[in-house]
Structure 1
Amino acid sequence: MYKNILVPISFDEDRDAAGAIDVARTLAGKDGKIKLIHVIEDIPGYAITYVPNTYLVESRQAIEGELAEMAAELENGAFEVISGHSGRTIVDYADKDGADCIVIASHRPGMSNLILGSTATQVVRHANCAVHVIR
């Protein structure tokens, strides 16, 4: 069993957060800690002027509320909202937090993922711990 599992949560429709959390719960057993994280992507400088001032604060509060509810259902659950590029930030956070496993949901890859790469692919390639990808 793993002791410190990180579960990145994306609120995109094609991601299965519930499936990833169920797998993490199984892998953690009774004593393992599960931390849910969400990465808020940085808004490019050219676009930030078009975003209402309250948008970032309200978005962050809504995401924190959702994650808090999800984490409350876990035995040893916690959550955090962080900012940055999703793939790199997840890997860096896992290293900093001492995660021994990442459980990440992925969607079915399309042509754009073959060209650009996906968050799950970047995490699998660069993580220094076990990674379980849920489809």
Structure 2
Amino acid sequence: MTYTHHLTLDQPYTEAVESVRTALSEQGFGIITEIDMRATFEKKLDTAAAEEIGDYIILGACNPSLARRALAAEPQLGALLPCNVIVRAGADEGRSIIEAMDPKVMVQISGSDHVRAVADDADARLRAALESLPRAD
């Protein structure tokens, strides 16, 4: 089962993080949480763990109107929010990997028609954001 949308960007990590932020914003998503995995591993584990994970950030993207609709349909869906988007350094110099949670996973869990409508809208917006990014060949 696939639970993310995946692409490789022809941009270095720092530039890719900013590109993803901009693309999400253009689709009505704000970043409400941010987890720098390298820094977290460095602080909680050790330098070796931080080096192993490398540059890796989790952006918690939220479109408030979509979240409102989802929570009105099923309040417990808050456990699946926000839509996490990962940006991590690729193996090739100057490339980055982007992975975004597929909102349609919520439908597999819920089965509600109201949730399906919200998930379809969120999925279309996330896909549009990702499609706007400079993909690697």
Relative to the length of structure 1, the TM-score reads 0.29
**In proportion to residue count, which structure has more helix?**
2
TM-score, normalising length: structure 2: 0.29
